[in-house]
Amino acid sequence: MIKIICICGARPNFIKVAPLIHVFKKNGNFDTLVVHTGQHYDENMSMLFFDELNIPKPDVNLEVGSSSHAVQTAEIMKRFELVLLDFKPDFVLVVGDVNSTIACGLVAVKLGVELIHVEAGLRSFDRSMPEEINRLLTDSISDLLFCTEQSGVNNLIREGIPKEKIFLVGNVMIDTLLQNKTKAEKSNILNRLNLNSDGFVVLTLHRPSNVDNHVVLDGIVNALEVIQYDMPIIFPIHPRTRSNFTSSSLGEHIEKLPNVRLINPLGYLDFLKLMSSAKLVLTDSGGIQEETTILKVPCLTLRENTERPITTEIGSNQVVGTEPDKIIRAYKQVIDDDWQEPQIPPFWDGKAAERIAVIIASENRCGG
């Protein structure tokens, strides 16, 4: 029996961990402990995902809550160490690039437990992003590195990671999407929001570089003001973003835009239905760049870079920055049908978790 701890911390982690937990339990050779660090603690940002994705409730909730990067990382490490010492796993599995990822990874390797990083090798090459630091550090200490796209493999090899540790397996986030697409179609979110299919834009914003900088955020709002004259913009607003709006005059600005609709964060199935029905998605999220690729909905990334370059290479996503003119110009190109349906990247077929389980089992038999 392979003993493995799976770490969940933030909203995207749950989506990525779900197919792995299902495969581990189905396999029968894994003794799996699910640890929720509590990094995201709002109901719509965390626990709802366990219900919708049919993941068993976490075996352990560290309940660290929100704080500065240093305090949050330290609290996760302190509390997770006790869990690890009690369970004595063969592997700790972390996903993505949040504080929970590096915190639990550090605890594992310092106690001699092998570390698995799912979604390894992604690089924005922007070290001002906290996520980039988490990615670099986690990859440097991991024993098994599972990549979603070829750029991840290339980055890791260039950074000196031994090739035998690196595996191109596909995208567990896409596993979850494909497993839940039919269920999401039954969502009544469009009726609840009184929307017509394909006649609206979906927006998400949460990156500190966008929402903590009032000059940048003001520029984005100016672009929204133009776009909303064409069609409604549905904006499930992240708690951090809402706080920055309400604490500044930007809140008054966006509230005066009649076709920008600020709503609370949605559950996974509702949001999947909303995205799949949209004419266009505007985002600064990494995962949404991947999900819109599978949903075949154009995506404009409101950043200066992306750690998911495959999405720009195949044309499902454009990195347009945050200047209003560039956002508006890219938007008009898409609306004028200057967009071709992309090819799906290799291994984004819904079987990434199965490949990962096979490799872990093989590595465990070999003694790691």
**Which are the catalytic amino acids?**
206
CA distances for 272 relative to 145, 187, 258, 278, angstroms: 28, 9, 24, 10
Instruction: Say if CB 98 and CB 13 are below 8 A apart.
Output: yes
Under 8 Å between Cβ of 50 and 57: yes
Bridge partners (DSSP) of residue 233 are 201, 260
CB 160 within 8 A of CB 37: no
